[in-house]
Amino acid sequence: MDAGADVLHVDVMDGHFVPNLSWGAPVIKCLRSQSDAFFDTHLMVSNPVEFIEPMKDAGVDQFTFHIEANMPEGGVEGLIQQIKDAGMKVGISVKPGTAVDTVFPYCDKGLVDLILIMTVEPGFGGQSFMADMMPKVKTLREKYPKLDIQVDGGLSPATIDQATEAGANAIVAGSASFVPEPSVPILAMRESVMKNCTGYGK
């Protein structure tokens, strides 16, 4: 955060929805005790409803679930309501193979705070940026001018302009930020957002 990041993006993986298993609520709760940053949590899990209370207790600010995950009774809207009732903002993530129009109904109703377009297959770091996901971002930006649109996967100073020119205003950068001087790539990506973004992030 000292290097200039706006939020802390935390990936939670259950070893089922994606092969990897990552940290969960206890570690996030420990992080929360050391930081007042906005915790933007990406749930790569099969049953996101089971994570609502643990994430709430851990101090998460935003709960982003996958549209491809299992839904509880009440479906996607029921899950969204439970997340909101727990006091967290709501994001929906879309895998590369999923059509972007699957999230339109929830955007149309104003039920979500953010849509996350995956620019790699979820579950592994260090993958190459998938430029062919940019039409999804562009479609969302044209349809929802004020929507927060996040991209995650392979983002770096070398790829950032493709994302921001398409309309992304929330950038997740893992590998690119874990360098000796993380403020350098973070500043470069921030400048691209400020130059190109037409959404809330400008």
161 catalytic residue (yes or no): no
Neighbours of 19 (CB within 10 A): 9
Instruction: Tell me the β-bridge partners of 151.
Output: 117, 171
Backbone angles phi, psi at 32, to 5 degrees: -60, -35
2 catalytic residue (yes or no): no
27 Cβ neighbours under 8 A, 6+ residues apart: none
Amino acid at 128: S
Q: Tell me the chain's radius of gyration from C-alpha atoms.
A: 16
Dihedral sign of CA atoms 154, 145, 99, 80 in order: positive
The whole-angstrom separation of Cα 197 and Cα 165 is 7
Residue tagged active-site, from 57, 113, 152, 161: 152
Residue tagged active-site, from 11, 14, 40, 148: 11
Active site residues: 11, 152
